[in-house]
Each structure stands twice: as C-alpha cells, then as structure tokens.
C-alpha cells in the first residue's frame, strides 16, 4: 500500500546521497570486472574455460549496468522532486 506522507527535502537529499554512493560503488565494480575480464582474455590465449567465464562475467557486467541505469533514473526523479519542493518553498517564503 502506497505511503501518502509528504517527503521532506532532507529525506530526499539523504536518498540522493545514498544513490550517488551506490552508483559510484557499482561503477567501480563494473570497471574492475571489465578490467579483469580483459586481462583474463589477454592472458589465457583463447582457453575455452576462460572464454566461458568471461562470457559469464560480461553478463554480470550487463546486469550491473542495468541496475546503475535504474538507479540513475531514480536519482534523476528524486532530484527533480527536490527542485520542485525547493521552488515551492521559495514561492511560499515570498508570500
């Protein structure tokens, strides 16, 4: 059941910060996995077992990228909501 309580600016800032941290952490994991997969491919010279493992790692990288995309989309929505709240507050303060 949806929660209809208003979201505070402070709560949005906290959630945005958490998403920033999450995106940064997962981006680091993606980069490390990609580097390791590339090094494995370079060093294993076409080994069949290594090639299968690299395919699996690349699949995981794809999942991480999709998760990051969703997190980035959510962060954008939260930032837009925060901007709306701040604009509304500025209007109310000017009355």
- Predicted confidence at residue 1, as pLDDT, reads 57
Q: How many Cα neighbours within 13 Å face the side chain of 28?
A: 5
The domain in which residue 38 lies consists of: 9-93
Q: Is residue 1 part of a domain?
A: no
The tens digit of pLDDT for each residue in 66-89 reads 999 999 999 999 999 999 999 988
Q: Report the candidate in 64, 7, 9, 4 with the shortest Cα–Cα distance to residue 32.
A: 64
Mean pLDDT of 4-23: 92
Helices (H), the chain: 9-44, 48-93
Q: Is residue 2 part of a domain?
A: no
What's the total number of domains in the chain? 1
Q: Is residue 3 part of a domain?
A: no
Record the tokens describing residue 35, joined without a space: 């580097």
């Amino acid at each position: 059941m949806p929660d209809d309580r208003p979201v505070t600016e402070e709560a949005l800032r906290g959630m945005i910060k958490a998403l920033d941290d999450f995106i940064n952490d997962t981006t680091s994991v993606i980069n490390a996995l990609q580097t390791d997969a590339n090094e494995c491919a370079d060093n294993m010279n076409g080994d069949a077992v290594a090639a299968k493992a690299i395919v699996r790692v690349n699949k995981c990288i794809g999942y991480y990228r999709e998760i990051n995309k969703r997190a980035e989309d959510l962060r954008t929505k939260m930032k837009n909501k925060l901007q709306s709240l701040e604009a509304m507050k500025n209007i109310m303060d000017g009355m």
